[in-house]
Amino acid sequence: MKAIRRVGILMALAAFLPACVERYYPEDADLFTGMLVVNALLSNGSGTQVINLSRSDGLVFPEYMPEPGAAVQVENEEGDQIGFTDSGDGDYLADLPEDFLQEGGSYRLLMITSDGKRYESEFTTLQPASNIDSVYYRLETVPGDEPGTTLEGIRFYLDFHVDSGSGRFLMWDLTETYEFHNPPYEGFIYDTDRVLKPLPDSMSDRQCWITLHIPEIFTQETGNLTAGRYSMKPLHFVSNQTQRLRHGYSLLVRQLTLDEAAFRYWDDLKKNVQEAGALFDTQPSITPGNICSCDDPDERVLGFFTVSAVSEKRIFVSDLEGLDVPDLLFCFPTFEFPRLSYFRLRDLPIFLSRATWPETGEIITGETDRKCLDCRLYRGSSGEPPDFWPEG
């Protein structure tokens, strides 16, 4: 973890010297917006495969800009092609035949965008899979965002085996699922009929399961390692300052085996966004992908087409010993709000909740975010537990 080391030195010197890190707001640095972005990571597991197409945006107020209406195909060396269908929001889906992605096979991506431009990727080879031994966690204290503060929580670790048969270039893709509870406040709705009504049950849910992709890339090259057990590959850290560790937490670790080009791409990307910012900074990498335009060789296409063997491991965390997960007060209603009649019609409906301020016992009714009454509205949230969620 070079990042840890680098940040480490930074922190130590920050303590030793009056160093300082501040937010920096760039001015009109967006130069190459509107470039085609391809996220195509196909894995040899079963299920629906997703290829996502979008356009790049500027830095200052970025938005996700999906690319609709493209024809997307994946081709193997024999010339067999499988088409992906546009399912909206830039996602193109296909169910690959079971024997299509094979170890040692080479594949490429072919695309025609709605403006008629043709794109294709280089051939990429599916590497042999290697297995995860175990995923586990340790209690840890890490430096907080503010100098001198700390955060308590758990860090996940991974053990895997390095041997001559396994792939040399590993990447881990993490997905977390946790049970989430909204506070037990009474909910109301004030809709266009301008009558304050209790919130109907269909619009309210207090217990949810949130599944999110961990926005961190973890990579490891094994070329410089001998055969044996690689222990304690550090993965992400979960602090006790959210609900994640309170009602149950599950982590799915997918170990991807990449070819060298794909590994370099993801590893450089990781360095660019996760490890920047230290005393001895490296130049950010220019990360060319493996997709090019057939019509204009100078056109830059972002993203990478990767096929990968996958092995998975899931771990469930509950009832942590030695770590206190505080019950944080959140979603408390706004203390003061104007008369309901002040709200313009177009701002309705608004949602309100009634809560008791814990210190004084004062009962407060105020405007609240709709998510605070219906947890299903959080990103990645569902009102039903996933299949793998333990009973009870």
Partner 1 sequence: MRRSKLAIILLLFTWNGLLSQETGTKLSLDLSGATIEEFVDQFETRSGIRLYFQPEWFREMRVDYVADSVTADEAIREVLKGTGLHYGYISSSVIVILPESRLSTTLPDILSVEARQGSAVAGQEYLGMNGSQYIQGTRPEQITRTISVGNPSSGTSRSVARVKGKLIHVETGEPVAGATMVILESGKGSISDQYGNVIMALAPGRYSAQFSFIGMERVSAALEVYSDGEFQLEMSPAVIALNEVQILGEQYRDISSTDIGVERFSMKSLKQLPVFMGERDVIKISRLLPGITSAGEASTGVNVRGGSVDQNIFYINRLPVYNTSHLFGFFSAFNPDIIRDFSIYKGNVPVNYGGRLSSVFNILTRKGNNRIYTAHAGISPVSAHLTFEGPLRKDHSSFIVSGRSSYSDWILKRIKDPEISNSDAFFYDVAASMNFEPGTKNTLQLFYYQSFDDFKYADLTDYEYANRGGSLNWIRNISPALTSKVTATASTYRFCNVDKSEISKAYSHEYLLNHNEVLADFTWVPAFRHSVGFGSSLILYRLDRGVVEPFGPSSIRKRLELGFEQGLEGSLFISDDINLLSWLSLYGGFRYSSYSRLGPETVMLYEPGKPKAVNTIVDSISYGKFSPVRFNSGPEFRLAMNIKSGQNTSFKLAFNQMRQYLFMLSNTVTISPTDQWKLSDYHIDPQTGYQFSSGAYHIFPDMGISGSVELYYKFARDIVEYRDGADFVNIPLTETQVLQGLQNAYGAELMLQKTSGRLNGWINYTLSRSEMLVAGDTEFESINHGNPYPSNYDRPHVLNVVANYHVSRRFSVASNLVYMSGRPVTFPASLYYIKEVAYIDYYARNEFRVPDYFRVDLSLTIEGNLKADKLMHSTWSFNVYNLLGRKNPQSIFFRSEDFFVRGYAFSVIGVPVFTLSWNVKLGNYESN
Query: Cα 312 vs. chain centroid, distance in angstroms?
Result: 17
**Residue (300 or 354) nearer to partner 1, CB:** 300
* Euclidean distance between the first and the last CA atom of the chain, given in angstroms as a whole number: 38
**Closest distance of CB 109 from partner 1, Å:** 15
Name every residue whose Cβ is closer than 8 Å to that of residue 61 and which is 6 or more positions away in sequence. none
CB of 299 vs partner 1, minimal distance in Å? 13
- The smaller minimum CB distance to partner 1, of residues 23 and 346, is found at 23
**Cα separation of 206 and 371, whole Å?**
10
Instruction: Please say which residue, 83 or 147, places its beta carbon nearer to partner 1.
Output: 147
Q: What is the DSSP string of 233-266?
A: EEEEEEETTSGGGTS-EEEEEEEEEE-HHHHHHH
Is the CB of 29 or the CB of 345 nearer to partner 1? 29
Q: How far is the CB of 174 from partner 1 (least distance, A)?
A: 11
- What is the nearest approach in angstroms of partner 1 to the Cβ of residue 60? 9
Q: Which is nearer to partner 1, 2 or 197 (CB)?
A: 2
Q: What is the closest distance, in whole angstroms, from the C-beta atom of residue 45 to partner 1 in the complex?
A: 16
Which residue's structure tokens are 């890339």?
217
Q: Distance between CA 31 and CA 169 in Å, rounded?
A: 33
Minimal CA–CA distance to 236: which of 327, 134, 147, 153? Answer: 153
Query: Least distance from C-beta 34 to partner 1, angstroms?
Result: 8
- For residue 217, the minimal CB distance to partner 1 (Å) is 8
CA distance 208 to 210: 6
Q: Which is nearer to partner 1, 24 or 342 (CB)?
A: 24
Beta strands in 169-206 (DSSP E): 169-181, 186-190, 196-198
Q: Which is nearer to partner 1, 35 or 348 (CB)?
A: 35
Vertex 326, ends 325 and 330: CA angle to 5°? 125
Give the C-alpha distances (Å, rounded to integers) separating 209 from 70, 176, 247, 334, 378: 34, 10, 10, 26, 10
